[in-house]
């Protein structure tokens, strides 16, 4: 099941020592490329290179293999694809420039159309452009625009035998890779960058070629960190100092890894943050980690696993508490009491509740009469008793969400009202957030509080968030291309995964998708439009998280998905012969 992702709790004690008194200015430094590699195509005993040109037994299999040939280590992509192409047509492929050839990732919208001709076989691909997979593992926005690709196959018999082989003729002028091939040859990998205010880590999605040998894994991840964050995270994240480079490869002696860098301004505070950034970007790393600057030892982590425990990525409850709205009031679906006093718990349509230290943050959309809604907010110690109601009223409002990246003394949230995204504060003051999009339907904030998922015009967008005093800055939205259409609701189900409600194949469905749109897993056929959606994001300390939603005025939760019934709702009278349906489910964590 997609939601039951790997994870676990890490234990131990942090032991960090500093070595050396400074960074000598005259030490000889040699900055090189990847260096010696283990056997190509093998990692942990398996084979992760795509099939060769001659491995296919049918035209259909040959086409599938051709659409996976670019997968693997970036510097060999051009050569692997060239082997499939007849020599005289290889000039049509994009010019090879070292490892900088980006792969055009597409989603096949139907099976390849393979039509035999008198001399050649014509192949037509109908695709959705998903993105450009770069040499540093980023899946960047698509640059290509074609919805179809057409090429040909030339059939021949080697040495006049009975076996049939094929070559591609007239190939596309891009290196194609399908989303079906992506998980076969790459592992989704999360690396972390410090936020712009350097207070928390912000996840960044990458793809690690499974062909990368284990002994080069640390070096690969360090180079990703040196190369910087994905472009769409620019407003929210900070990179390493300009000019930072990895000197040679990271090396291992027994259970100790050494990372040698050329990095300006490498004081103890910066190195300590780099160490935390690095150990979370290498979740499988164990043992010791030593950081060197220009060959001089500067920081030693005695136990990487212990370092993770004392430097968690998130300060958040590992078990979310479920609630719902029942007859205009928030009610609990679990052991936790409602953090809103009964006198203030009335006329509620939806709610967003969070914690900030010892304080509870609650934002409610409430019935304002006459078919209108307004926002009511209170921040303080539970149970909350005195909500401040906003002055503005709207016909429709989404479930409010709080940004965990906001300064504790100035909590900030977001809500969609009548198609516009608004920022709100603890006084329920609403300010529009410009996005340069059409009508907005839904918004969700990642656990780090610096990344947003937005539904606008039935499509999915991502945007980065930063704070400057009382100002909330939202970066330019980046569209994420999925196979779902008519999107209505979204929430974060993982660090780089989203629970997404929309339409596929004429059915209303709930999917889990990667933030870049490439990975998709069906969770449930809802059968109706989802109007409320709440998920607990899986993260390193919490390997499982529930999803709750409302469709057709009925609330659901769990895996397998089950309807939430009135008998599950705490603190309600059970004498009503025709009880109402619970609605607008939410999670507190």
Q: What percent of the chain is modeled with pLDDT above 90?
A: 83
**pLDDT for the residue numbered 150:** 98
Both tokens of 351, joined, read 């709610």
As to burial, measured by CB atoms within 10 angstroms (0-12 exposed, 13-18 middle, 19+ buried), residue 24 is exposed
Average pLDDT over residues 112-118: 94
Q: Burial of 477 by CB count in 10 Å (0-12 exposed, 13-18 middle, 19+ buried)?
A: buried
Query: What does the block give as tokens for 241?
Result: 């100092």
Distance CA(358)–CA(71), nearest Å, equals 49
Which pLDDT belongs to residue 237? 96
CB atoms within 10 A of CB 40: 13
563 pLDDT more than 50: yes
Evaluate if residue 219 carries a pLDDT over 60: yes
Task: Give the pLDDT score at 468.
Answer: 83
The domain locations on the chain are 16-33+185-310, 51-180, 325-432
In which residue are the tokens 């283990």 written? 38
Neighbour tally for 71: CB within 10 Å: 27
From 339, 308, 397, 348, select the one nearest 10 (Cα to Cα). 308
DSSP secondary structure string, 295-335?
TEEEEEES-HHHHHHHS-S----SS-EEEEEETTEEEESSS
Helical (H) or strand (E) element with 557 = strand 554-557
E strand or H helix that includes residue 538: none
Q: Answer left, alpha or beta for residue 449, where phi above 0 means left and psi between -120 and 50 means alpha.
A: left
Tell me the mean pLDDT in the region 242-264.
95
pLDDT range class, residue 54, cuts 50, 70, 90: very high
Q: What is the pLDDT of residue 46?
A: 41
Q: Provide the pLDDT for residue 98.
A: 57
Helix (H, G, I), strand (E, B) or coil at 77: helix
In angstroms, rounded to a whole number, what is the distance separating the alpha carbons of residues 343 and 337?
Answer: 15
Residue 262 CA to residue 242 CA, distance in Å, equals 10
Which of 275, 267, 188 lies closest to 225 in space, CA to CA?
A: 275
Bridge-partner residues for 359, per DSSP?
Answer: 356
Closest CA to 190 of 403, 5, 419: 5
DSSP element (H, E) containing 550? strand 547-551
CB neighbourhood size of 13 (10 A): 10
Give the Cα separation of 289 and 271 in Å (integer): 12
pLDDT band at 8 (very low <50, low <70, confident <90, very high): very low
Mean pLDDT to the nearest integer, 563-569: 95
Q: Would you place residue 2 in the very low, low, confident or very high pLDDT band (cuts 50, 70, 90)?
A: very low
Helix H, strand E, coil C: the string for 237-277 is EECCCCCCEECCCCEEECCEEEEEEECCCCCHHHHHHHHHH
Secondary structure of residue 486 in the 3-state scheme: strand
**Is 20's pLDDT higher than 60?**
no
Give the H or E element holding residue 234: none
pLDDT score, position 575:
60
Per-residue pLDDT averaged across 46-56, rounded? 85
Q: Residue 154's pLDDT is what?
A: 96
Give the pLDDT confidence score for residue 43 in this predicted structure.
Answer: 44
Residue 576 confidence (pLDDT): 66
Q: How far is CA 297 from CA 258, 292, 303, 478, 585, in A?
A: 9, 4, 16, 41, 52
Band the pLDDT of 95: cuts 50, 70, 90: confident
pTM for the structure as a whole = 0.90
pLDDT of 446 > 90? The answer is: yes
- Is the pLDDT higher at 560 or at 482? 482
User: What pLDDT digit, counting tens, does each position of 486-535 carry?
Assistant: 999 999 999 999 999 999 999 999 999 999 999 999 999 999 999 999 99
Average pLDDT over residues 312-336: 95
- Split at pLDDT 50, 70, 90, the class of 47 is low
Beta bridge partners of 46: 43
């Amino acid at each position: 099941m997609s939601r039951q992702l790997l994870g676990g709790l890490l234990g131990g004690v942090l032991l960090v020592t500093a070595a050396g008194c400074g960074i000598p200015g005259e030490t000889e430094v040699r900055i090189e490329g990847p260096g010696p590699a283990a056997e190509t195509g093998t990692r942990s005993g398996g084979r992760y290179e795509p099939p060769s040109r001659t491995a296919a037994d049918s035209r259909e299999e040959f086409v599938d293999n051709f659409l996976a040939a670019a997968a693997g280590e970036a510097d060999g992509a051009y050569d692997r694809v060239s082997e499939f192409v007849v020599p005289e047509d290889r000039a049509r492929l994009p010019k090879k420039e070292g490892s900088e050839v980006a792969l055009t990732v597409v989603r096949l919208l139907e099976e390849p159309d393979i039509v035999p001709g008198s001399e050649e076989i014509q192949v037509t691909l109908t695709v959705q452009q998903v993105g450009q997979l770069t040499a540093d593992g980023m899946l960047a926005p698509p640059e290509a625009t074609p919805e179809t690709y057409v090429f040909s196959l030339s059939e021949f018999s080697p040495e006049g035998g009975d076996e049939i082989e094929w070559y591609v003729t007239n190939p596309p002028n891009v290196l194609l890779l399908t989303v079906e091939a992506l998980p076969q040859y790459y592992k989704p990998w999360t690396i972390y960058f410090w936020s712009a205010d350097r207070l928390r880590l912000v996840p960044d999605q990458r793809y690690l070629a499974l062909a990368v040998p284990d002994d080069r894994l640390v070096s690969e991840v360090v180079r990703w960190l040196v190369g910087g964050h994905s472009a769409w995270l620019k407003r929210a994240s900070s990179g390493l100092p300009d000019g930072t480079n990895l000197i040679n490869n990271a090396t291992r002696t027994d259970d100790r890894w050494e990372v040698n860098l050329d990095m300006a301004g490498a004081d103890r505070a910066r190195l300590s943050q780099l160490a935390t950034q690095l150990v979370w970007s290498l979740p499988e790393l164990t043992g010791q980690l030593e950081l060197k600057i220009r060959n001089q030892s500067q920081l030693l982590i005695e136990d990487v696993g212990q370092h993770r425990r004392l430097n968690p990525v998130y300060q958040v409850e590992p078990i979310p508490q479920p609630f719902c709205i029942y007859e205009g009031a928030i009610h609990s679906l679990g052991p936790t009491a409602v953090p809103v006093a009964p006198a203030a718990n009335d006329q509620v349509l939806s709610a967003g509740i969070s914690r900030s230290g010892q304080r509870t943050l609650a934002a409610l959309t409430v019935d304002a009469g006459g078919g209108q809604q307004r926002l009511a907010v209170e921040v303080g110690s539970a149970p909350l008793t005195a909500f401040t109601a906003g002055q503005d009223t709207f016909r429709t409002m989404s479930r409010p969400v709080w940004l965990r990246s906001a300064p504790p003394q100035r909590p900030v949230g977001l809500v969609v009202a009548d198609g516009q995204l608004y920022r709100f504060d603890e006084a329920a003051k609403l300010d529009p957030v410009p996005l340069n999009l059409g009508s907005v339907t839904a918004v969700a904030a990642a656990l780090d509080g610096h990344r947003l998922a937005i539904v606008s015009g039935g499509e999915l967008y991502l945007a980065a968030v930063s704070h400057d005093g009382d100002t909330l800055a939202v970066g330019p939205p980046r569209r994420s291309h999925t196979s779902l259409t008519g999107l209505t609701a979204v929430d974060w189900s993982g660090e780089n995964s989203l629970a997404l409600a929309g339409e596929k194949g004429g059915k209303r469905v709930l999917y889990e998708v990667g933030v870049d749109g490439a990975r998709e897993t069906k969770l449930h056929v809802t059968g109706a439009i989802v109007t409320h959606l709440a998920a607990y994001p899986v993260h390193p300390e919490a390997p499982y998280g529930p999803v709750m939603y409302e469709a057709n005025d009925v609330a659901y939760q769990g895996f397998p998905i089950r309807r939430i019934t009135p008998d599950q709702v705490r603190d309600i009278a059970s004498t009503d012969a025709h009880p109402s349906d619970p609605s607008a489910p939410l999670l507190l964590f």
